[in-house]
Structure 1
Amino acid sequence: MPNPTAHRPLPTARDGVPARSTGPRRNAPRLAGALAAATALVLLSLPAAMAAPTAPTATGPTDTRPARGAASAVVHPLAPSAADEQAVREYWTPERMAAVLSEPPSDRPPADGPDGAAWQGSAALSASVGRLFFTDRDGEDSSCTATLVAAGNRGTVVTAAHCTLGHDLLGENARWHTNQLFVPGYRDATAPHGTFAVRLASVHPEWVRSGENSPYDQAFLALGRNAAGLRAADAAGSVQRLGYDRPGGRQVQQFGYPRAAAYKEEHRGRPEFTGKRLAHCWGTAREFLGWGEVPRSEDQWGVRCDMGGGSSGGPRMAGFDASTGKGTVVGVNSSGARMTANGLHCEPPAAGCHRYLVGPQLTARITHPLFRAVQDS
């Protein structure tokens, strides 16, 4: 079938993750009430006393804590009925998934290193991370990455907020993506555990207000069941823990399904850099401090990494055990940033200037209310 996104330019070595920027924030106006009505947003105020789930899972209780003080989440129904879920699953045929824009394949040999490699370790990791497909605000099919996490509803994933609610190039005029579908363990256009329509999404109100609010670029999605009637955690047999307010500068692994390499010629066209297979980067996370005098986005961490568009929403994991495929999700991939070892923005060919894949740390204040908001679905 024809590629529905064939006219879109591929991500370049400079932008890495399309439609995302680590540039200065813009003072976008708040969305009007008409937008809220048009998109059927529901604003939930969550009490501070709301406890974290304690139901046992494949990896034990979820590592969460209630937020301090009042907090809120914007919740939006995406496929609220069984018929809606089926329609989304039927929309995403294997041919349509394969047609999502990516770099052309090549027969280059592997060029694995800390800045990018195919994941070839434990199947438990592969089963818990998957591709998140959607139709974007412009009506074009695209994809991100998401991760199954321990939750009482047995069907919750964490991802980047821009993977479920997008803005225009000025970070304004928020619109929800449609046809959102999670495929855990995706590999070479196969869905070994089935496919799961996204029933419900939660993002922070500050993300709705402006797509330049990088600390709020995180979201949780509640999934429906697959065609066999199984919940995602039961079908995949693997989930990951959440960790809030963890130190940023730790040894981490970052995972994703990039549809392109951001800068390294040796990676271009490899299956793990065309969305076909799971890729990862690893190292000590560094904080992106911005442009010197320009106010920076807060709490953006990541490692040197060549994963481009499509890796957004993938997990940044601390305490990761490669033999078991288990770790703690402490952040998500959000955008590419060129910076020096001291965290300041730079441009090549400046000495010590490298491309990092950065994103927000998960916190009790921002993240926990978003998680709780989808647990009663």
Structure 2
Amino acid sequence: MNTRHHPITIIGAGLGGLTLARVLHVNGIEAAVFDLEAGRHARTQGGMLDIHTENGQVALRAAGLYDDFLALVHRGGEATRVLDKHATVHWDEGGEDEAGHGGDERPEVDRGQLRRLLLDSLPEGTIRWNRQATGARPLGDGRHEVTFTDGSRITTDLLIGADGAWSRTRTLVSDAWPAYTGISFVETTLDEADTRHPAEAALVGDGMLFALDDGKGFLAHRKTDGSLHIYTALRAAEDWLDTIDFADADVAKAAVLAEFDGWADSLKALVAHADGALVPRKVNALPVDHRWSRAPGVTLLGDAAHVMSPFAGEGANLAMLDGAQLGQAIAAHPDDTGKALAAYEEELFPRSEGKAAESAGGLELCFGPDPLPQLLGVFSGGPEDTDADRGRDGDRDRDGDRG
């Protein structure tokens, strides 16, 4: 089998990898993207993302897609409700002002729609689907050989690991591996909520709902397709999800709801009335200060570089900014890969560490003792503001930049 050479290779077609490919494209630089999925429609998408002014929106501007992104924004999606375990409402803030304008600092967008925007912005053939990388090895002078499950191989002058939390590319530069944070998620969906689940639709409202206490709770948001996406979360042993038969939805619902004795029936209905399968997720994270020594011809972005808990809403935003800044660094130093990677990583490491610390703090706020007054302090702009109020990025492991 012939070994093909690509000057720039991106492993993973998630938001970060696609943003990098797009920024390179607008700068006249070709890249080859490899992804394990069978095609663009194969990957199951998660819920809503809030795209931040200081990172996600910066990336979209660099990609020349900001105006197209605005057309996808869920108007009113920034609405937020905070409830206690008895479903008493303690905070209820709309997502639009009296003129019908939503906030522009963190507008909400459907993750799947955002990904399609990026996919459609790339030339046909940029992404090689159904190509799962199994490993890579250095060949010297910064070049690498990448192998795939189908037995094929490529060589490349510049290898970028955008392949998510369980990145195989990461092993070229780091021995770090994500560790369980102590929090487990179970995802559920209520379809056509306004007509099929009106009580739950009224409970969640137009945007995001938080109901947290006793180290557990419900995080829910309304999607643009009218469905409700719910994360039931709790502190649990790492093997707790493994003890539940998720092949049987009724059995799984009963096992999850058994952990919520004493909670309001209206909140438990977010699980009890769910449509389709329940999806288990363990929340994992790399060390807050994860970084690596400069290695010729290879670097990482997104979850491959800094997977963190979703409780600051930063994962997708950081992945996109990583991709944009790396693309700009390569364009600024087209004949000096070493200088491009050094410039990129110089900004990447401190930025990632700061946001990872925020995310870890957000996790402790949400699942520590007495979270309600702390959340209310966040929303009222008090001293406890750790950004945990915008933790809407919990689908990263599902949609992470995998390869």
More helix by share: 2
TM-score range, shorter chain: under 0.3
Taking structure 2 as the reference length, what is the TM-score of the superposition? 0.23
Task: Give the number of the structure whose alpha-carbon radius of gyration is greater.
Answer: 2
TM-score where L is the length of structure 1: 0.24
